[in-house]
Amino acid sequence: MPANKKYLSSNWQRFAKITAGIVGGYFVTISSHIALAYLVDHTAILITATFTGFILWVVLMIVAFLAKNGWRIWAIYLFITLVFSFLIYLGKLYNPIIS
């Protein structure tokens, strides 16, 4: 029995959810770990980033697939990435020894 059409998302929404989950989730994961590395001991963060990065990326992919609007998830992920990028910039500005 086929699914009811009103519960299915369009092709563009499906594309937005898939790309937001994979690419956007990766951007948020990496930028968050790099920003955190500028705030605390960068050696410990970069070592544990292999484990926590994968877990965070999977959680962000699940969140993207559960959302109703894929473009809104893209906007949220890009905003979070920009916030973390700003924190990275501030970390480089005020702590030039790490870079």
Domain ranges for the chain, please list them. 12-93
Whole-structure pTM value: 0.85
Average pLDDT over residues 52-68: 94
What mean pLDDT is reported for the chain?
88
Give dist(CA 24, CA 56) in Å, integer: 12
Whole-angstrom CA distances from 72 to 45, 67, 86 are 30, 9, 21
Give dist(CA 69, CA 37) in Å, integer: 32
39 — pLDDT class (breaks 50, 70, 90): confident
